[in-house]
């Protein structure tokens, strides 16, 4: 790493099989491992938080309840009364992404939300879910949404392709937003950290100037903590909005 030009900021996104040959055969890299870690973290938080089941909650229980109520209110407020049925899904989605984003901020860890394959799979899952729910709830009237109400019929040849395109681009924008944010954040970390390594090669002067990139990385960590929760929130709220359209009669 210290070899100056050999620093590769994209190296951190490489996947390596876990458990050698077994991991290779099962296509099990560190990415699913961190997914399991994130899931276990959230489940442990909820389990140990809610274990007292006290009427007057302690700190951990209050935190778990706040998480529950935050997502529940978001689902019900955005989707409507039907939102209660989707609440577990939204909760799963939000905390899967949030835990993935935050666990990736730990040094030497891996951020599975920085892989477009993962984020696109989730976005595509949301997309498929909205299509299935739309068809189930609205039937064939679902396709009428591609022609906006009150628009002139002469504009239909123009509007319908645009509407279809915008509908189909939802999973793409949803997945790329999260992926790009995570990649950008971690690349920035790596770049500024590599500055520190490079400056270390210049002796005492370099050591003094290295304070700059370290300070920037500290500030970046604060920013990434914000971005991590914000992107999880954006993903969840957009899912809610898509589902609201799906259950709307």
Partner 1 sequence: MGVITKTVRAGLLATVCGVSLLAVSAPGAYATGMPQLDFANPLVTGQVMWGAIIFFVFYLVLSKAMLPGVARVLHDRSQRITGDLEVARSAKQDADKAVAELQQARKDAMAEAQAHLQKVLDEEHRAAEQQMQEINARLASEIADAEKNVAAEKARALSALKEIAADTTQALVQRLTGVAPDAQLVAQSVESASAHRSII
Residue numbers of the site for partner 1 (CB under 8 A)?
10-11, 13-17, 24, 26-29, 31-32, 35-36, 39, 42-43, 46-47, 50, 53-55, 61, 64-65, 68-69, 82, 84-89, 91-92, 95-96, 112, 114-118, 121-122, 124-125, 128-129, 132-133, 136-137, 179, 183, 247
Residue 51 CB, nearest distance to partner 1 (Å)?
A: 9
Q: What is the DSSP letter of 143?
A: G
Please state, in angstroms and rounded to a whole number, the distance separating the CA atoms of residues 146 and 112.
34
Nearer residue to partner 1 within complex by CB, 69 or 207: 69
Mark out the alpha helices in the chain (DSSP H runs): 21-25, 30-50, 59-79, 83-103, 116-138, 156-200, 203-209, 211-247
Nearest partner of 96 among 40, 15, 173, 44, judged by Cα? 40
What phi and psi, each to the nearest 5 degrees, are found at residue 15?
-100, 140
Residue 10 CB, nearest distance to partner 1 (Å)?
A: 6
Nearer residue to partner 1 within complex by CB, 13 or 142: 13
Please state, in angstroms and rounded to a whole number, the distance separating the CA atoms of residues 47 and 124.
30
Nearer residue to partner 1 within complex by CB, 133 or 199: 133
Residue 125 CB, nearest distance to partner 1 (Å)?
A: 4
């Amino acid at each position: 790493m210290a070899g100056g030009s050999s620093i590769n900021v994209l190296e951190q996104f490489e996947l390596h099989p876990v458990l050698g040959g077994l991991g290779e055969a099962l296509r099990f890299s560190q990415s699913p491992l961190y997914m399991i870690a994130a899931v276990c973290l959230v489940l442990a938080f909820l389990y140990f938080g809610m274990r007292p089941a006290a009427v007057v909650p302690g700190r951990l229980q209050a935190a778990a309840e706040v998480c529950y109520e935050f997502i529940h209110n978001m689902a019900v407020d955005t989707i409507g009364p039907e939102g209660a049925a989707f609440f577990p899904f939204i909760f799963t989605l939000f905390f899967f992404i949030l835990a993935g984003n935050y666990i990736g901020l730990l040094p030497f860890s891996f951020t599975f939300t920085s892989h477009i394959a993962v984020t696109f799979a989730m976005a595509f899952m949301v997309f498929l879910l909205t299509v299935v729910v739309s068809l189930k709830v609205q039937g064939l009237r679902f396709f009428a949404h591609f022609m906006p109400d009150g628009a002139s019929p002469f504009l239909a040849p123009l509007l319908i392709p645009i509407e279809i395109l915008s509908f189909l681009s939802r999973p793409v924008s949803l997945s790329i937003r999260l992926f790009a944010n995570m990649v950008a954040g971690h690349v920035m970390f790596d770049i500024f950290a590599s500055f520190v390594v490079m400056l270390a090669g210049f002796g005492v002067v370099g050591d003094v100037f290295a304070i700059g990139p370290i300070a920037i990385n500290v500030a970046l960590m604060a920013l990434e903590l914000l971005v991590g929760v914000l992107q999880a929130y954006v993903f969840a709220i957009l899912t809610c909005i898509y589902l609201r359209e799906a259950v709307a009669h």
